[in-house]
Amino acid sequence: MMILRPIQKSDYPALLNIAHESGHGFTSLPINEELLQKKITRSEASFEKQTDVPSDEGYLFVLEDSETGEVVGTSAIEAAVGLDDAFYHYHLSKVIHSSRTLDVYKAVDILTLCNDYTGATELCTLFLKGDYRKGLNGKLLSKSRFMFIKQHQKRFADTVIAEMRGVSDDSGQSPFWQWLEEHFFSMDFPTADYLTGIGQKVFIAELMPKYPIYVNLLSKAAQEVIGQVHDNTRPAIELLKSEGFTFNGYVDIFDAGPTVEAKVDNIRTVRGSQQKVVKVGSYTGGFPVMIANDKLAGYRATIADLHIDSDSNEVIIGADVANALNIVDGDTVSIATL
């Protein structure tokens, strides 16, 4: 059984391994032992914190194979981005160059540096090991965060975003960054990405072009990857689109990968999840659903085949599922279809 739960200190070796495996462009897990240790400590403090407003909390989850005890994936939620450090994006928009006298009309795409998503809740750090990219594992790893947000909605903003990994090759070279590097920076993409991951973002404000960039002045290779995702990220963005997330022209300042957004109340899993009272007993199966307890620091989520009666406020689950979620008769759970 696959179980999603909050990270704990003993998961550090597994997190370091995932940081190595995730590769270039995975900004939120840089290969830095001190920083990874701090991420775990911050997450533990966030789950224990009593608050009803989104602030600097960061909730980091791991996906564990209960049969082997192996941690096989991560996902996370940042309660509110940009409150301590500036949170940068490029916004893709148009300007019109026209002259009636000369009978000229031309629409031109431009990229403008902005901080428009300051204060938004961010979904991040989604990574699943290759051998486990099958079945419903990816959906559990991603969608269970929506159930957590609904259960503890005061801890999060009304707008939820997700930055999608942009196009880069196996050596970590990004066509978009190569153009920026040539004209404004003197560091390669992996270095810039790593510095951002460890929180050293001052160079962005110091070196990024301050004025809008005309897209047609970029190299052809850079133009082609604006708003495009890395091949490994395609399943993730398709899942978010199915949940109601949309792309509104915001792209990453390093690799030009798209950022998608949704209002919490418009997210499919948030709208469709139901609360049920648990009854532990024998059950005759059903169809696979996502089920999570309503705890904070003790949050657990898994997938089980259950029969859901929409006219009843109860759900019957097996003892194995109850043990996995650390719940007993009479506890409440959230259930969402997949």
Q: Which residues are known catalytic residues?
A: 230
What H or E segment, with its residue span, contains residue 47?
Answer: helix 33-48
Question: Secondary structure of the chain: what % helix, strand, coil (to 5)?
Answer: 35, 30, 40
How many CA atoms within 13 Å lie on the side-chain side of 148?
Answer: 32
Of 75, 66, 171, 189, which is closest to residue 129 (Cα–Cα)? 75
Residues 108/215, Cβ–Cβ less than 8 Å:
yes
Residues 136/289, Cβ–Cβ less than 8 Å:
no
What is the CB neighbour count within 10 angstroms for residue 123?
Answer: 22
Using DSSP bridges, classify how beta strands 314-317 and 274-280 pair: parallel, antiparallel or unpaired: parallel
Strand, helix or coil for residue 18: helix
